[in-house]
């Protein structure tokens, strides 16, 4: 059962989601081109005539089901270096249920894993009040929302755990989504109103989306129990009394040799769509000068509005499943080493027929409301308060931006050095972080506990890391 537990752990913890949006550097007055990912209005009147992003990347996992208590640091699951005694013969981590401590409070559980690469991009200042940006980005996520504690405990312990037998579980509703897609975007930001100490800015981003891979299970109703297998005494048998769900996936052929700009521009990919961001920002400058040194900045944006349609008879299958009295044995998962094997298992055990398959489905982008207040305490000290609200429903076929609340003090020096300490709350869990910028280079984490702690000392529910390199050119004076 360890294989299926590891699979569900990956689902439970958006690879996709995100110290959400590089929180340590997202609100900096030197964020430049990276501001478009927080609010497109923030590039209006950029202090740079030209700002070029060469590379930036972020990876994280978060969940509210289990704490990591394993014998090595959680970050080794991402970066490698796991001691040999904790590896399986095939080289993969030998994850044991004892490496995780359940958080049981009677509430449905959520998890998100996220990976993001921000590719080449350029921001161009069009005078004092307007800016234009062209950006590229690839995103991957695996996410689960609304999963019951009973189902996760069963996955963790296995079907042969007798204390879980003969318990009927009903009305289970949850969604699981996995997505890999790329985007090429154009952003325009402009100052709309200047009146004394008050400035209002607006911005919009239009983005072309290419979908490389997508898979989902949207469960409307799962009623199940585990009984002792009448043919194998001492072994458990998973019995689904009712299963009502949507199930769809694309083949992995388009991503077998990776994803990149070449595929985005030239290859035939299974998914295509459009999206947009829209935002506004208000700044108050008590000195009423042209320095750009606001005392207060309030901003709000709606991000990632849009969908991706997957439509290809050869690469896509989608099913509406309504089955009763289906059984699964633990041994059925022995050959599941990835999503392809899992798909074949579901099709086999649910007796899904080729005539039932649909050749298209639609998934949503991770639509969210992004609000924040940035206060300048002195020439070099700031504090930012940010609230990002997930706007997708629990059962949406969509990538998701989990709801996050953050308070981030930061210090920005005139020499180009910057330090921020984001304090984040997500899934009811507090996670402190830190980020550092030295001129064109930045690096940070929005979850120091998960990144650096050993599970035996501090229990983590996730981890996060990000870094990037950009070139700020032709800085305007005297703004900021």
Q: What percent of the chain has pLDDT over 70?
A: 89
**pLDDT for residue 454:** 67
Provide DSSP, 247-284: EEEE-SGGGTT---HHHHHHS--SEEEEEEEEEEEEEE
Nearest 5°: the CA angle 176, 343, 312 is 90
Other Cβ atoms less than 10 A from the Cβ of 312: the count is: 16
Q: Which residue has the tokens 């695996």?
A: 142
Assign 477 a pLDDT band (cuts: 50, 70, 90). low
Assign 366 a pLDDT band (cuts: 50, 70, 90). very high
Cis peptide leading into residue 478 (ω within 30°): yes
Kindly give, in sequence order, each residue whose CB lies less than 8 Å from that of residue 91, ignoring residues fewer than 6 positions away. Answer: none
Mean pLDDT of 375-400: 92
Mean pLDDT of 84-111: 84
Phi first, then psi: give them for residue 297, nearest 5 degrees: -130, 125
Please say if the pLDDT value at position 479 is more than 50: no
Q: What is the pTM of this model?
A: 0.87
Structural contact between residues 148 and 110, judged by C-beta atoms closer than 8 angstroms:
no
Please say if the pLDDT value at position 396 is more than 80: yes
Provide DSSP, 431-451: EE-EEEEETTEEEEES-HHHH
CA distance 204 to 39: 8
**pLDDT for residue 12:** 39
**pLDDT for residue 286:** 86
pLDDT in tens, 252-279: 776 666 666 666 665 678 899 999 999 9
Please say if the pLDDT value at position 19 is more than 60: no
Nearest 5°: the CA angle 454, 460, 463 is 95
Query: Which of 20-24, 141-145, 281-285, 292-296 reaches the highest mean pLDDT?
Result: 281-285
Mean pLDDT of 293-302: 95
Structural contact between residues 261 and 208, judged by C-beta atoms closer than 8 angstroms:
no
Structural contact between residues 443 and 466, judged by C-beta atoms closer than 8 angstroms:
yes
Assign 291 a pLDDT band (cuts: 50, 70, 90). low
What the block records as the tokens of 369 is 């409301």
Q: Is 310 left (phi over 0), alpha (psi -120 to 50) or beta?
A: beta
**pLDDT for residue 269:** 84
CA distance 324 to 342: 20
Q: Which residue has the higher pLDDT, 396 or 42?
A: 42
Other Cβ atoms less than 10 A from the Cβ of 372: the count is: 22
CA distance 180 to 56: 17
**pLDDT for residue 3:** 46
**pLDDT for residue 132:** 97
For 389, the enclosing helix (H) or strand (E) is strand 381-390
Assign 289 a pLDDT band (cuts: 50, 70, 90). low
Tell how far CA 389 is from the center of its chain. Answer: 13
Mean pLDDT of 415-444: 91
What the block records as the tokens of 255 is 């991503």
CA of 80: how far to CAs of 1, 8, 18, 31, 87, in Å? 23, 20, 20, 31, 11
Q: Which residue has the tokens 């958006």?
A: 14
**Angle between helical axes of 149-157 and 2-12 (0-180°, round to 10):** 140
Query: Which of 293-307, 385-399, 417-431 reaches the highest mean pLDDT?
Result: 293-307
What the block records as the tokens of 401 is 């931006």
Kindly give, in sequence order, each residue whose CB lies less than 8 Å from that of residue 121, ignoring residues fewer than 6 positions away. Answer: 33, 52, 53, 133, 134, 135, 136
Please say if the pLDDT value at position 18 is more than 70: no
Mean pLDDT of 444-462: 76
pLDDT in tens, 60-86: 888 888 888 888 888 787 777 888 888
Please say if the pLDDT value at position 16 is more than 90: no
């Amino acid at each position: 059962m360890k294989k299926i537990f590891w699979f569900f752990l990956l689902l439970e913890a958006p690879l996709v989601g995100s110290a959400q949006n590089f929180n340590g550097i997202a609100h900096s007055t030197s964020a430049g081109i990276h501001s478009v990912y927080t609010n497109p209005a923030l590039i209006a009147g950029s202090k740079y005539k030209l700002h070029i992003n060469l590379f930036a990347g972020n990876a994280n996992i978060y969940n509210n089901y289990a704490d990591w208590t394993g014998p090595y640091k959680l970050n080794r699951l991402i970066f490698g270096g796991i001691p040999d005694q904790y590896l399986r013969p095939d080289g993969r981590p030998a994850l044991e249920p004892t490496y995780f401590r359940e958080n049981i409070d009677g509430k449905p559980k959520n998890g998100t894993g996220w990976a993001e690469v921000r590719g080449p991009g350029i921001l161009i200042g069009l005078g004092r009040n307007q800016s234009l940006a062209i950006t590229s980005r690839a995103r991957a996520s695996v996410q689960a929302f609304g999963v019951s504690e009973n189902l996760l405990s069963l996955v963790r312990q296995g079907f042969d755990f007798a204390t879980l037998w003969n318990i009927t579980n009903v009305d289970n509703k949850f969604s699981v989504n996995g997505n890999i897609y790329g985007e090429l975007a154009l952003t325009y930001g402009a100052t709309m109103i200047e009146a004394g100490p008050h400035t209002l800015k607006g911005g919009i981003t239009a983005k072309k989306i290419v979908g490389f891979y997508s898979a989902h299970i949207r469960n409307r109703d799962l009623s199940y129990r585990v009984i002792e297998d009448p043919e194998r005494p001492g072994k458990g048998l998973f019995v689904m009394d009712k299963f009502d769900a949507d199930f769809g996936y694309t083949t992995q052929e388009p991503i077998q040799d990776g994803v990149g700009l070449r595929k985005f521009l030239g290859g035939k990919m299974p998914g295509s769509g459009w999206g947009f961001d829209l935002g506004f920002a208000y700044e108050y400058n008590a000195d009423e000068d042209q320095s750009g040194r606001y005392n207060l900045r309030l901003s709000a944006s709606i991000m990632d509005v849009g969908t991706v349609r997957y439509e290809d008879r050869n690469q896509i299958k989608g099913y509406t499943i309504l089955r009763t009295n289906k059984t699964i044995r633990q041994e059925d998962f022995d050959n599941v080493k990835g999503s392809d094997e899992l798909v074949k298992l579901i099709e086999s055990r649910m007796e899904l027929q080729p005539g039932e398959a649909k050749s298209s489905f639609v998934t949503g982008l991770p639509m969210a409301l992004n609000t924040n207040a940035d206060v300048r305490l002195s020439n070099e000290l700031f504090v930012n308060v940010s609230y990002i609200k997930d706007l997708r429903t629990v059962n949406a076929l969509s990538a998701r931006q989990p709801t996050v609340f953050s308070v981030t003090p930061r210090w920005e020096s005139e020499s180009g050095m910057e330090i921020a300490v984001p304090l984040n709350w997500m899934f009811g869990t507090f996670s402190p972080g830190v980020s550092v910028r030295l001129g064109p280079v930045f690096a940070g984490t929005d979850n120091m506990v998960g990144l650096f702690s050993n599970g035996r000392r501090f229990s983590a529910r996730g981890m996060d890391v990000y870094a990037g390199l950009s070139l700020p050119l032709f800085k305007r004076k005297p703004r900021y």
